[in-house]
Amino acid sequence: MSTNLPARTLDRRELRDLVDDLAANPAQWQDQVAFPADGGRHYASLYRDAYVDVWLLCWRPEDDTGWHDHDISSGAVHVVQGGLLECNPRIGGEHLETVVAEGQSFHFGPDHIHRLTGAVDRSVSIHAYSPPLWRLGQYSIDDTGLMRRVSVSYADELRPIDETPASGVMEEVA
């Protein structure tokens, strides 16, 4: 990966430029794409330094991050294959849903709360975060609209915390 990046925290638009550039250079990540036959979720850390953290994630329709924020990090996501469904919570209302199609990207600041699922089987996305991911907020919203937050390490499984976890499988997450 190019390291002609500024030696400082990147803002969301710089992160978008970064994932867009990477998406245009499949040689830098194509070999990391995998959908394991044993059914586990697949992800790969493409790069991490003091300022930025870059991941490749592979998605099946059942992969669901649950509601989460990224603490102090901004982020950007480029869908390089298939499509992702991004949802944003609306307490007491209808959640916002956006399908991000192949070739599109989106970006967000640390105030962003969302939930990502694979909209299409065998979807692939590239994610960049700055500062590098450290802690995340994980949310549940119950039937009455009551929202709760737990702080988790970025390494902890991102999954819906208001539902039964899938067979105790450990997953790292972006």
165: preceding bond cis by omega (within 30 degrees): no
Q: Pick from 48, 90, 95, 148 the residue near another protein by CB under 8 A.
A: 48
- Rounded CA-CA distance 17/74 in Å is 13
Size of the site for another protein (CB under 8 A): 24
For the purposes of burial, counting CB atoms within 10 Å of the CB of 18, is it exposed (0-12), middle (13-18) or buried (19 or more)?
buried
Among 18-26, 49-57, 89-97, 140-148, the segment contacting another protein (CB under 8 A): 49-57
Please state the closest distance from residue 101 (CB atom) to another protein, in A. 30
Q: Pick from 29, 47, 108, 129 the residue near another protein by CB under 8 A.
A: 47
Question: What is the H or E stretch that residue 153 is in?
Answer: strand 147-153
With tokens 């899938």, the residue in question is: 166
CB 113 within 8 A of CB 65: no
3-state secondary structure of 48: strand
Please state the closest distance from residue 143 (CB atom) to another protein, in A. 25
The binding track of 117-136 with respect to another protein, each residue x by CB under 8 A or -, is ---------------x-xx-
The binding track of 146-165 with respect to another protein, each residue x by CB under 8 A or -, is -----xxxxxxx--------
Question: Furthest-apart CA pair in the chain: how many Å?
Answer: 48
Q: Pick from 2, 26, 34, 50 the residue near another protein by CB under 8 A.
A: 50
Residues that bind another protein (CB under 8 A): 3, 5, 7, 45, 47-51, 53, 132, 134-135, 151-157, 170-173
